[in-house]
Amino acid sequence: METRETESITRRRRECGKCGQRFTTYERLEPPNITVVKRDGRLERYERRKLLDGIKHACEKRPIQADALDKLVDDVEQELRRSRRDTISSKELGKFVVRRLKEIDEIAYIRFASVYLNFSDLHRFRDEIEKMIERSEAEKEKKQDVKSGAQ
């Protein structure tokens, strides 16, 4: 048996004892046993697939690898496990995702944030975009300062 591990998945190559054929299995940690409190007060069991589908929807037609999205959800689940809580609000869960999605793709971040952070109007939406532009410009200036200092 050959085993390879990544951060969240163990891939095993196995051989059937009867027929001798080889096959692959993938093992993943069980999702955290946590209840999500929705905006309207309903309670739902956390579902990895549902969270991943929401993230994929925000990332449609963006140049983002599927592996990056799986890793993002793995990171969120790891954070949920570390918190050792049995309930979380959907808004708080959305904030976990938003923090990581912002690092991956700004457009996907805005799409996701507009739904999960419940932007109430266009002004709030515009304010968030302006903050992102300011941060982006500050980062560009910082990089230019580093480049000019190195020369």
Q: What digits encode the pLDDT tens for the residues 112-147?
A: 988 877 777 888 888 888 988 898 888 888 888 777
pTM exceeding the 0.75 threshold for the entire prediction: no
Domain assignment of residue 38, yes or no: yes
**Claim to verify: residue 97 and residue 43 sit in the same structural domain:** yes
Q: How far apart are CA 36 and CA 96, in angstroms?
A: 13
Range of 10's domain?
1-30
Domain assignment of residue 128, yes or no: no
Which is more confidently placed, 120 or 16? 16
Task: Quote the number of domains for the chain.
Answer: 2
Which residue has tokens 């050792």? 84
Q: What is the per-residue pLDDT for 4? A: 47
The alpha carbon of 52 is separated from its chain's Cα centroid by a whole number of angstroms, namely 8
Mean pLDDT is lowest, of 24-28, 77-81, 146-150, for: 146-150
Domain assignment of residue 140, yes or no: no
DSSP annotation string for the chain? -EEEE-SSEEEEEEE-TTT--EEEEEEEPPPP--EEE-TTS-EEE--HHHHHHHHHHHTTTSS--HHHHHHHHHHHHHHHHHHT-SEEEHHHHHHHHHHHHHHH-HHHHHHHHHHHTT--SHHHHHHHHHHHHHHHHHHHHHHHHHHHHH-
